[in-house]
Amino acid sequence: MEQSMLHLSLLILFIPLAGFLILVFFGKKLPRQGDWLGTSLIGITLLMALYMLISKISSMSTETLTYSASWVILRNSSFGATSIDLGFMIDNLTVVMLVVVMLVSFLVHLFSIGYMKGDARYSRYFAYLGLFTFSMTGIVLTHNLLMMYIFWELVGVSSYLLIGFWYEKKSATNAASKAFIVNRIGDAGMFIGIMILFIHFSTFTFEPIFSGLAAGDLPFQSTAWLTAAGILIFCGAVGKSAQFPLHVWLPDAMEGPTPVSALIHAATMVAAGVYLIARMFPMLTAEALIVIAYIGAITALIAATIALTQYDIKKVLAYSTISQLGFMVMALGLGAFAAGFMHLVTHAAFKAGLFLGAGSVIFAMHNALHKKNDHHTDAQDIRNMGGLKSRMPVTYWTFLIFTLAIAGVPLTSGFLSKDEILAGTLAFSSLNGHYLLPIIAFTVAGMTAFYMFRLFILTFHGNHADESRISGLMESPLTMTIPLLILAGLSTFVFYSFNPLGASGGWFFSAIERPASMIPEALQPASAEIFNQAVKALHTPALILSVLIAGAGIFGAVWVYEWKKSSADVISQNFGALYKGAFNKWYFDEMYQYVFVGGTFILTKILRWFDEKIIDGIVNGAATLSERFSVMNRWFDENIIDGLVNFTAWFMGILGFVLRRLQTGKIQHYLAFVVLGVLVFYFIFV
């Protein structure tokens, strides 16, 4: 059993890589440019992952399997050898995550066959998807921080390639670079965090680090460093999961093909951050967790406010993703471990569905506009849509299910997880007094319902502003609608818990348990038992409250956009500055542009100037001085400045010039120097 698990996980890891290599080198020569190859390989890995999930959950529920192999051995003559290991760790978290990754990846592959048809780099696209899946799988399977970091960066690169896939567009390459660099900032923090742990424990592997902590062995014997390590590693998650303040890359990343957005920016890559927090949970101190919770809450709030105001269908979804990721991070920070992770899973399904649905809409819009030779209407702007319901029935109904799920309406998967998180916030505040968290969480839940229905209504309901424009609009092909249907099915409650009103009794909650904290007691957050009791006590009020708030949000959206009882413009005018701020994404991009990009730019200019003017010849600014000696300077330029670039040399040149002037050509002067020399030496040395 264990062996087969190892072999399966190895296969799951390397099959996508093989797909990538084959497609990169031979993609163009394969029939249909090899799309079938990529898709079927992922299909196979999906089946393997499902098998692993079922057998793991059913047979050895709480066991953790690990496999280790030495990568590098550093021998140190004074204190033995340090082995740096690579390896797998398979527990319930892993198998669930594997299935999520593989499933979404498979569906995205399938969807892309239709969506990317006719692209100039069709096979390259599938190759990149394979590379991405490989990297993501690596993150999921790893049992150590080094491999986590390695695949973390590989994910970054493959997302770079995918976001910038249409690299002829400047906006796409900008977005790709931005995504990479912003992620890199988070990664730098993560790298430092990893260094702290490695230097102290001489290993990257989770297990010995945790057991070391459990034995009371803190990094540098200081709780501050432990907290710092936790927060720094969390920085990686901040980058990847687009948490405040590094969330700015995600909306821009929508420049990539829409299925890529579904894969990377909804379901998998951004979830990696959450997964990382879940993995590191045993070593996070209460202080670190509170930081994490607040970062999550702030992210959720900021993103939700922005999503209220956006018109680009993918931008709305992007901000909604950020907001939901904030929810998950917050949940983990509070200690609502299973709820947060469950939200990751349910969100992966319905958000992937939303993106693919949006992709379907954009695809249809684009084709329709293309037929009309209309190249200036934005195919992604919801103001240009409306009334698509009748023309795209499958997309419409599946989209509705996804929207209900994200709004948190009962009977959907989203309700289950979101409800648990909201209950968690209440429980946390009741234990610790952080009342801000539940207030933010409930507000955001309401906002989510509002802006999602706003999006939904504007896209599909009402009448189209210009009927003729969408006269050629058609439902997308089967390869695109089948994934939607599958995901819609997965957005219902049955797959997670048989009780539509509470997840806590389902298999998920029994399989995914909050891991025990491994750090000294004084630093731990409230224990799982206490927390769960509090949740239980507050579950019913939370449930009622969340349903009411979701309902209010939906009602608001319908009121404004369906029935047009109040004008959206008037409302936004009433909010004035707030609206303007939200509409402009709270000016994060501008601020970063000025402060960091501009600052860096100026700094580099200064340094370059410094390098070329100051260092390079302490006085290449001998230029200014030597203006006085302009004749000489020209001579210098032609002959010696080439070599005498710095002041010393310049000075030597001057000295030489002066000394040379002693040679007057008059013999009597020479003799005078001799006599003078003898006398001077006499007085000095006698």
Partner 1 sequence: MSEHVLNSIGLFVPEIILVASLCIIIVADLLLKKRTHAGGWILLASLVLCFFAFSAQSGINTSAFFAMIAVDPFSVFFKVILVISGIFIVLFSMQNKELIPYKNRIGEYYMLIAGMMLGMFLMVSSTNLLMMYLAFEMTSICSYVLVGFTKKSIRSAESSIKYIIYGSVSSGIMIYGMSLIYGMSGSLNIFEIGAALSGLESAPIFSMAVLMITAGIGFKIALVPFHFWAPDVYEGAPMAITALLAVTSKIAAVAMLIRLFRVSFTGVDATGMMAIIPEGIRWDMMLAVMAAAAMILGNLAALWQDNIKRMLAYSSIAHAGYIIMGVVVLTDQGISAVMLYAFMYLFMNLGTFYMAMLYANKFSTESIEGYKGIGYRAPFTAVALTIFLVSLTGLPPTAGFIAKLYIFGAAINAGWIWLVLVAGVMTIVSLFYYIRVARNMFLYKPEGETEPVRFDNFTTAIVLLLLTPVLVLGVYFTPVLEFIKHSLVMFGVQ
Partner 2 sequence: MELQFLGIGILTWILFLPIAGLIIILLIPGDKLKAIRITATAITGIQVILAAVIFRHFDRAIEGINSIEGFQFVEKYRWITVEAVPWFGRIEINYFLGIDGLSVLMVILTALIGFIGAISSWTIKKQVKGYFALYMLLVTGMMGVFVALDFFLFFIFWEVMLLPMYFLIGIWGGPRREYAAIKFFLYTFVGGILMMLVMLALYFSVAVPDPETGEMYHTFNILHMMNPAYYVEGSILAGVDTTWRYVAWMALFINFAIKIPLFPFHTWLPDAHVEAPTPISVILAGVLLKLGTYGLLRISFPIFPDATMYFMIFMAVLGMISIIYGAFCALAQDDFKKLIAYSSISHMGIVVIGIAALNTQGMVGGVLQMFNHGIITAVLFLMVGVVYDRTGKRGLYDFGGLANQMPKYTGIAMIGLFAALGLPGLNGFVSELFSFLGAFEAYRWIAIVSVFGIIITAGYILWTLQRVFLGNTPEHLTSLKDLTTREMVCFVPLIILIILLGVYPAPAIELMNTSLSYLTQIVTVPAY
Partner 3 sequence: MENELIQWLSQPGLTHYLMIGALLFCIGITLVLTRRNVIMILMGIELILNSVNLNFIAFSRFSVITLDGHLTALFLIILAAAEAAVALAIVLNIYNRFKTIDIDEISLLKG
> By the criterion CB under 8 A, which residues form the site for partner 2?
71-78, 82, 146, 149-154, 157, 160, 164, 167-168, 170, 173-174, 176-177, 180-181, 184-185, 188, 191-192, 195-196, 198-199, 600, 603-605, 607-608, 611, 615-617, 642-643, 645, 649
In angstroms, what is the minimal distance from the CB of 593 to partner 2?
14
Distance from the first to the final alpha carbon of the chain: 99
Q: How far is the CB of 11 from partner 2 (least distance, A)?
A: 18
8 Å CB contact between 114 and 479: yes
**Non-local CB neighbours of 653 within 8 Å, separated by 6+ positions:** 636, 640, 644
676 contacts which partner out of partner 2, partner 1, partner 3, none, CB within 5 to 8 A by kind? partner 1
- Count of helices and strands (H, E) across the chain: 28, 2
Please report whether residue 671 would count as binding partner 3 according to CB under 8 A.
yes
Cα separation, 436 vs 477, whole angstroms:
47
We find the least distance from the C-beta atom of residue 260 to partner 2, in angstroms, to be 16
Residue number, 69 or 667, with CB nearest to partner 1: 667
By C-beta, is 215 or 671 nearer to partner 1?
671
Q: Which is nearer to partner 2, 199 or 478 (CB)?
A: 199
Can you give the C-alpha Rg of the chain in angstroms? 32
- Which of partner 1, partner 2, partner 3, none has residue 376 at its interface (CB below 5 to 8 Å by kind)? none
Q: Which of residues 640-669 bind partner 3 (CB under 8 A)?
A: 660-661, 663-668
Nearer to partner 3, 522 or 675 (CB): 675
Backbone angles phi, psi at 80, to 5 degrees: 70, -165
What is the rounded distance in angstroms from the CA atom of residue 323 to the CA atom of residue 429?
A: 20
Q: Among all chains, which residue has been given the structure tokens 């004008």?
A: 567
Nearest approach in angstroms of CB 225 to partner 1 is: 48
Q: Which does 528 bind (CB under 5 to 8 A by kind): partner 1, partner 2, partner 3, none?
A: none
Partners of residue 68 on adjacent β-strands: 87
**Which of partner 1, partner 3, partner 2, none lies near 569, with the C-beta cut-off 5 to 8 A by kind?**
none
Q: Which is nearer to partner 2, 192 or 431 (CB)?
A: 192
Min separation Cβ 71 and partner 2, Å: 7
Q: Which two tokens stand for residue 454?
A: 């706003």
Residues that bind partner 1 (CB under 8 A): 639-640, 643-644, 649, 652-653, 655-657, 659-660, 662-663, 665, 667, 669-671, 673-674, 676-678, 681-682, 684-686
Q: What is the 3-state secondary structure (H, E, C) of 311-340?
A: CEHHHHHHHHHHHHHHHHHHHHHHCCHHHH
- Work out the number of other CB atoms within 10 angstroms of the CB of residue 432: 16
Please say whether the beta carbons of 403 and 396 come within 8 A: no
Q: Which does 594 bind (CB under 5 to 8 A by kind): partner 1, partner 3, partner 2, none?
A: none
The one-character DSSP state at 76 is E
Instruction: Give me the least distance between CB of 432 and partner 2, in Å please.
Output: 31
Spatial separation of the C-alpha atoms in residues 242 and 259, rounded to whole Å: 19
Partner interacting with residue 603 (select from partner 3, partner 1, partner 2, none; CB below 5-8 Å by kind) = partner 2
DSSP secondary structure string, 415-459? HHHHHHHHHHHHHHHHHH--THHHHHHHHHHHHHHHHHHHHHHHH
* Separation CA 344–CA 502 (nearest Å): 17
Quote the least distance from Cβ 633 to partner 3, whole Å: 19
Residues that bind partner 3 (CB under 8 A): 660-661, 663-668, 671-672, 675
